[in-house]
A and B are shown apart, each in its own frame.
Chain A
Amino acid sequence: MGCSTTPRKEGISTSTIPEQPGVLVVKRHHLLVRWSHWLNVPILLGLSLSGISIYWSSPIYQHTPDPLTGNFDVAADIGIWICAHVPGLHHYNSPPDWIYSHMSLGPGMLAPALRIHWLCAYSFMLNGAMYVAGLIAGGGWRGLLPRRTDLPDAFRMIRYYMGFPLAKLGRRQWPHPCFNTKYNALQRAAYFSVPLAGCLSVATGWAIHKPMQFHSLAAIFGGFDAARVWHFWLMWVFILFVVPHVILVFADGWDTFRGMITGWSSRVNRSEVTTNEQ
């Protein structure tokens, strides 16, 4: 959101001022958007955990078998490296399985993992439809559209984030760039890209799941094996989005978190009130 917040009642026309001082609140998220947002938590978790279980049965990234261990899986190599270098893991009983044991549903779970993956995939598609319906009903889709000023605004935000820790350490003022839009350029890029990644995940998922029926779809992604690579890295797009998203929400404070539960925020931008008066 923008940089300035108003003290209560500032900028409100006299006709709207009640006798008792109130809290100025602004509607942030439509009910369907909030529902779909929170439903994404178990759905994406289920998709990732079951997806890695499925990956385990046939890893995409392989190398020639190690002459000593016979290992050919890059993820197993990473597990071996983690167990060798992370304190406390030196005695882990099966280092090649470390990644899978900690990031999937567990060993011997291919059949349940496939079923759970499909359940979550159908839920993900329905949830995506609900999100789109919420964006349309609440008009929130306009806030996600890219703008011509996005590139310079994105650089301003990057500069702000990069300078923020140093400014904190040096106890200097480091003002947040001002924007008159719901989201800043970086947020908009992220919130616009994630639904696109969702669509691509669904498309690559269908290409993998039904390669006979959707062979044309698989061909668009470069074939069945390439569609698996796309699908795998799209999972990482979600993970790389979710981690900073959660960190920034906690850094931003209770109001942002509450806004996604109640739909309302008490952090009101001065320009929003002024515009509502017009």
Chain B
Amino acid sequence: MNNKPRGLFGERPPPTFEVDPKVWRRRTRRDVVLFGTGTVAALASARSFLPNVNRIDDEVAETLYSPRRTVPTYAKSQITPLKITTTELLPILGIFPDGV
């Protein structure tokens, strides 16, 4: 990155600093310990956390529900009689309810 930045898309040089080796080691240790602790805590809590949050898609669907949703809807005048009734369909599917 020895070229000067060229326009909006030119890659900028990243900031460089000189730090005390002790400070550098301490910060690295702190961040790595935090990272490890966070990972272990996330793994430990996943089992209790999952059942509460895995209904998110239902909640999103309910939130987005609106009369103007993009699912096709029809006026009552557009509804036509079924071409085949349930009573006629079931024997075709091999289902014979009692009394039929």
- Chain A residues with CB under 8 Å of chain B are 8-9, 12, 16-18, 20-28, 38, 42, 112, 115-116, 118-119, 122, 139, 142-143, 145, 180-182, 212-213, 258, 261-262, 266, 268-269, 271-276, 278
**Least distance between B56 CB and chain A CB atoms (Å):** 5
| Chain A residues, CB < 8 A from B35 | 38, 261
A27-B14, A142-B9, A182-B11 known; A115 and B42 CB under 8 Å?
Answer: no
**Least distance between A129 CB and chain B CB atoms (Å):** 15
**Least distance between A7 CB and chain B CB atoms (Å):** 12
Q: Would you call A22 and B16 a contact (CB within 8 A)?
A: no
| Chain B residues, CB < 8 A from A12 | 18
**Least distance between A97 CB and chain B CB atoms (Å):** 24
- Chain B residues with CB under 8 Å of chain A are 1-4, 9-21, 24, 27-28, 31-32, 35, 39, 42, 46, 50, 53-57, 60, 69-72
Q: B10: which of A17, A18, A142, A261 is its contact (CB, 8 Å)?
A: A142
**Chain A: CB-nearest residue to B64:** A213
Q: Would you call A181 and B14 a contact (CB within 8 A)?
A: no
Q: B32: which of A16, A261, A273 is its contact (CB, 8 Å)?
A: A261
**Least distance between B70 CB and chain A CB atoms (Å):** 5
Q: A269: which of B1, B21, B31, B70 is its contact (CB, 8 Å)?
A: B1
| Chain B residues, CB < 8 A from A266 | 24
Q: Would you call B27 and A262 a contact (CB within 8 A)?
A: yes
| Chain A residues, CB < 8 A from B42 | 42
**Chain B: CB-nearest residue to A179:** B1
| Chain B residues, CB < 8 A from A276 | 13, 15-16
**Complex A-B: 24 CB contacts under 8 Å:** A18-B18, A24-B16, A25-B16, A26-B17, A28-B14, A38-B35, A115-B54, A118-B54, A118-B57, A122-B60, A139-B12, A142-B9, A180-B3, A212-B71, A212-B72, A258-B28, A261-B31, A261-B32, A261-B35, A262-B27, A262-B32, A271-B2, A274-B2, A278-B4
Q: Would you call B2 and A26 a contact (CB within 8 A)?
A: no
Give bound CA distance, A12 to B15, whole Å: 12
Q: Would you call A275 and B2 a contact (CB within 8 A)?
A: yes
| Chain B residues, CB < 8 A from A181 | 1, 11
Q: Would you call B10 and A119 a contact (CB within 8 A)?
A: no
Give bound CA distance, A273 to B15, whole Å: 8
Q: Would you call A213 and B70 a contact (CB within 8 A)?
A: yes
| Chain B residues, CB < 8 A from A112 | 54
Q: Which of B4, B14, B57, B70 has the most chain A CB within a 10 Å cutoff? A: B14
A112-B54, A115-B55, A261-B31 known; A142 and B11 CB under 8 Å?
Answer: yes
Give bound CA distance, A16 to B15, whole Å: 13
Q: Would you call B16 and A273 a contact (CB within 8 A)?
A: yes
**Chain B: CB-nearest residue to A142:** B11
